[in-house]
Amino acid sequence: MGDATRGELVRFPAVGCRFFQLGRCLYEERLNPGYHADWRCVVLARWEAVYDDFLDRAENFGLTETELGVLWGKRFERLAEESVPCPDVRAADVDSMPECRHLLEDVCLLRLPVCAGQCERFRLRENP
């Protein structure tokens, strides 16, 4: 055997683990959903901030729910057409808002810890 094949243990990504998603580990997020605010999708966080601001302003004008719906629909169309404030956005194979393959619920997979391979938290995926 050559030196390149001796002495180093290489871990494989735990593709069979229920916490494995695109090379990232979901364990901490599943343990305490939403705890790590910095893992949230920046696009969704921005949209939420804009919506909260919209509601605050609308409340000051005493608008009805119908008026709110119409105004928000128009505002959201413009918001969705604006450039996305994320350099890692990638087209998704499924319908999601925003349309990004790294989005899982409201979490950006790229912000999660990289999977280190099989570990003490390894749990087999459940069959659908």
Percent of the chain at pLDDT exceeding 70: 85
- Say which residue, 13 or 110, is predicted with more confidence: 110
- Say which residue, 4 or 96, is predicted with more confidence: 96
Percent of the chain at pLDDT exceeding 90: 31
Give the pLDDT of residue 1: 41
Three-state SS for the chain is CCHHHCCCCCCCCCCCECCEECCEECHHHHHCCCCCHHHECHHHHHHHHHHHHHHHHHHHHCCCHHHHHHHHHHHHHHHHHCCCCCCCCCCCCCCCCCCCCCEECCEEHHHCCECCCCCCCCCECCCC
What is the average per-residue pLDDT within 18-36?
A: 93
Residue 115 to residue 105: CA distance in whole angstroms = 19
Give the pLDDT of residue 82: 79
Average pLDDT, the chain: 84
Give the pLDDT of residue 57: 87
The predicted-structure confidence for 53-86, as pLDDT tens digits, reads as follows 998 888 888 888 898 899 999 988 888 777 667 8
- Say which residue, 116 or 127, is predicted with more confidence: 116
**pLDDT of 97 higher than 90:** no
Record the pTM: 0.73
Residue 23 to residue 110: CA distance in whole angstroms = 9
Give the pLDDT of residue 9: 64
